[in-house]
């Protein structure tokens, strides 16, 4: 799942409002700009906010989350610029599977 949040409180508010079937404590969060404390989540991963470095890191991080038994993986939404467009497209397709 891909979400955009301003801070940890905003993420938690979206979690309540959308009625996620998974509690916060079972969510693995992958962030690059707005980094929550991690106290409420199963795990918080921080990867680079540079498009090229992000692209190199994201799939390894997704595999780590899977191997750790994540019930839900949430990735922070990407910037809407040309350099991020292909990465966003791949993530959206992966999230749809």
At 37-71, the pLDDT tens digits run 878 899 999 999 999 999 999 999 999 999 999 99
CATH number of the domain to which 68 belongs: 3.40.50
Query: CA distances (Å), 78 to each of 39, 40, 55, in order?
Result: 23, 22, 11
pLDDT tier at 76, thresholds 50, 70, 90: very high
At 81-93, the pLDDT tens digits run 999 999 999 898 8
Residues facing 65 on adjacent strands: none
User: For residue 10, what pLDDT is reported?
Assistant: 93
Query: Could you give the number of structural domains in the chain?
Result: 1
- Is the separation of the CB atoms in 42 and 28 below 8 Å? yes
């Amino acid at each position: 799942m891909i979400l955009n949040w301003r801070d940890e409180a905003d993420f938690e508010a979206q979690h309540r409002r959308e009625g996620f079937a998974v509690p916060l404590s079972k969510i693995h969060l992958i962030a690059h700009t707005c980094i929550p404390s991690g106290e409420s989540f199963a795990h918080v991963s921080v990867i680079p906010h540079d498009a090229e470095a992000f692209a190199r890191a994201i799939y390894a991080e997704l595999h780590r989350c899977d191997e750790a038994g994540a019930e839900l993986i949430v990735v922070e939404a990407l910037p809407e610029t040309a350099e991020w467009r292909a990465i966003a497209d791949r993530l959206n397709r992966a999230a749809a599977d």
